[in-house]
Amino acid sequence: MAESTDTHRLGRRLRIERVSELWLRVAGYFAIALFVLIVFTLVHRSLPLLSEYSVVQMLTSTDWNPEQNSFGFLPAIVGTVYVAVLSMLMGTPIAILTAIYIAEYAEGRTKTLVSSFIDVLAAIPSVIFGLVALVVVVPLVGDYLAPLFGSSATGLGILTVSLVMAIVVTPFMISLSVESLEALPDELRETSLGVGATKWETIRSVLLRAAGPGIFSAVLLGFGRVFGATIVPAMLIGGQTQMPDSLFATGQTLPSLIVSDFGELMSIPITQSALIFVGLMLVVVVWLFNFGAMLLQRRLRRRWQY
């Protein structure tokens, strides 16, 4: 009787395992199918534009005037690169240093308090940062920072967006970096301190190397979030599709280009195709970037494994 009951339980567990495996496989295939469907839709709806205009010409032209059938994406591409690079240059060092403080130096209530504030900042919607920036950062840049460098500006522009996006993305990178550092075994710290290294030497030479792939992933995810950011650039960059001649100049990014021209111009088929092509470019660039980052991350894991 007992043997029959055990056999029944074993069969039930095996059936549950097979069903779980099937659901996980279906979920994985669904994610792939969804990505393929999105790419196919973007490519299909971009064909009217691609059949009439050269891709090279559109990517290198600075003339964006949909009403005159001129589709030059270079100003938006340059604006996107400026904002992404500046944001990461400002946000990454702050994120890594803050993560080191939380994971290795902060203790007790101080650690709980700082971590909770970081989590709250990461959860605030981007539009709130944009609203606060309109009241605080825009006058700061326009009235004080730009004149300090001999430039006149309204405050809206590349630098303002970069400052705000650095603030938006930094809590996100801090949280992921802290998790990577805290996941390291204590034996690494004890072994390094045991051979006479100071705490900072242990962090710099051992912990940052061991947690390097995780921190690198946090930076990459932050970059992807900045690259695809829409609402903050749309609110703060000025909405001028022109080549920026300084960091204080107004400009445009690829996502904000879609937002600013979405609406009335979407009723024009060729303009609709152009804006969908912008979306296709974003998907392709982010995919290539993530694929390259994945290869680099694997090399880092092999090199820094402990």
pLDDT, tens only, 5-24: 777 778 888 888 888 889 99
Q: Are residues 13 and 90 in the same domain?
A: no
Q: pLDDT tens across 21-55, in order?
A: 899 999 999 999 998 999 999 999 999 888 888 88
Q: Are residues 163 and 37 part of one domain? A: no
Segments in the chain forming alpha helices (H)? 2-50, 55-60, 74-100, 108-123, 126-135, 137-140, 146-148, 158-182, 186-194, 199-202, 208-210, 212-227, 231-236, 254-261, 269-304
- Please report the pLDDT score of residue 161 as a whole number: 93
Q: Are residues 261 and 285 in the same domain?
A: yes
Last residue of a domain, one of 20, 37, 52: 52
For residues 153-163, average pLDDT: 90
Judgement on whether residues 127 and 252 belong to the same structural domain of the protein: yes
The chain-wide mean pLDDT, for the chain, equals: 87
Q: Judge whether residue 152 has pLDDT over 70.
A: yes
- Specify whether 135 is located in the same domain as 209: yes
pLDDT exceeds 70 at position 2: no
From 52, 72, 94, give the residue that closes a domain.
Answer: 52
Residues 80 and 208 in one domain: yes
Query: What domain count does the chain have?
Result: 2
Confidence of residue 306 (pLDDT cuts 50, 70, 90): low
Do 68 and 171 lie in one domain? The reply is yes
Query: Of 35, 52, 69, which residue constitutes the final position of a domain?
Result: 52
CA distance 264 to 279: 18
Mean pLDDT of the region 228-239? 87
What would the mean pLDDT of 125-139 be, rounded to a whole number?
91
Residue type at position 135: V
Are 110 and 132 found together in one domain? Answer: yes
Q: Quick one: 258 and 133 in the same domain? A: yes
Q: 252 and 169, same structural domain?
A: yes
The residue range of the domain holding 207 is: 57-304
The confidence band for 132, taking pLDDT boundaries of 50, 70 and 90, is: very high
When pLDDT is averaged across residues 104-122 and rounded to a whole number, the result is 89
Q: Are residues 67 and 47 in the same domain?
A: no
pLDDT value for 101: 93
Structure tokens at 158: 């590349």
Do 44 and 158 belong to one domain?
Answer: no
> Residue 116 maps to which CATH number?
1.10.3720.10
pLDDT at 221: 83
Q: What is the pLDDT of residues 195-216, one digit of tens each?
A: 888 888 899 888 888 888 888 8
